[in-house]
Amino acid sequence: MSENKLVITCAITGAMGDRDTPHVPITPREIADSAFEARKAGAAVAHIHVRDPQTGAQSMLFEHYQEVYQRISDHSDIIINLTTGPGARFVPDGKEPMGLDPKSTICLPPRRVEHVLRLKPEICTLDVGSMDFGPHVFVNYRPYIEEMARLVVGAGAKPELEVFDLGHCWVARDLLAKGLVGSDPLFQICLEVPWAARATTLNMMTMREALPADAIWAGFGIAASEFPMVAQAVLLGGHVRVGMEDNLYLSKGVRAASNAELVAKAAQIMRLLGKEPATPDEARQILKLR
């Protein structure tokens, strides 16, 4: 495999933004169609969250995951990477120390990974640490992380270890030492997410150095840092991620009309730096998937 080939992941849609935000995919059909377009623009991996088709709110319904998964896998060779992030949101109710506001989504590990166990994607994310996350706390209790790791690896999915801060790299290495996430570890360095590590050259370099020497890794920044971090990851030898989960703008003041536009710009940056986007089959070899 040529060292000039790098993997572009497209994060199709996240948990934020609704019908008032132009061009964000909401329904299973829109999410799948956006993945097809991203594939044509150069993405090898589609990172998938699902939404309530009526409200646009984050969903954990298996039926939504199943429809998106089936639509994509029936018509494209793009690698599917399912999120396991939902189910970790804690918002206090302001009445009791452990009282849960209705916006909380805290649930046990089998519920958080149910769709992975049933659909068996090639990759799924595994968030390895807790942190403040905008208006809520993102809770990833260590025993729960370990249980989720055992479950998804048992289902044949490769965990993509999401590290948002330097300490998360330590947690991930402990999971590796315990043999919970398999060989050839895959990491995603996530920057500029409130209130974790800022998207700076120093932070990406430091977090990369905190990973195992044999780690396969990618990096991204959200909002205005998305494309600078594409260039930074490429220069440091990493793979990249873009998409409407992370950023809605093609440039300052210019909304992206599609995920494909964001992928195409990432591919352009990559080529200017002497690299080429990997195809899905090439990415399977690079990421050492099953």
Domain boundaries, the chain: 5-286
Q: Residue 78 and residue 92: Cα distance in Å, rounded?
A: 39
Q: For the whole model, what pTM was predicted?
A: 0.97
Torsion of CA 113, 116, 117, 122, to 10 degrees: -140
96 secondary structure, DSSP code: S
Along the 290 residues of the chain, how does pLDDT read in single tens digits?
Answer: 568 999 999 999 997 665 667 799 999 999 999 999 999 999 999 999 999 999 899 999 999 999 999 999 999 999 999 999 999 999 999 998 889 999 999 999 999 999 999 999 999 999 999 999 878 999 999 999 999 999 999 999 999 999 999 999 999 999 999 999 999 999 999 999 999 999 999 999 999 999 999 999 999 999 999 999 999 999 999 999 999 999 999 999 999 999 999 999 999 999 999 999 999 999 999 999 97
Let me know if domain 5-286 sits in CATH 3.20.20.70: yes
What long-range pairs does 166-170 form, CB within 8 A, spacing at least 24?
Answer: 166/197, 166/206, 166/207, 166/210, 167/129, 168/128, 168/129, 169/207, 169/210, 169/211, 170/210
What pLDDT, on the 0 to 100 scale, is given for residue 19?
61
Listing DSSP states for 136-152 in one string gives: EEE---HHHHHHHHHHH
What pLDDT, on the 0 to 100 scale, is given for residue 98?
85
What pLDDT, on the 0 to 100 scale, is given for residue 135?
84
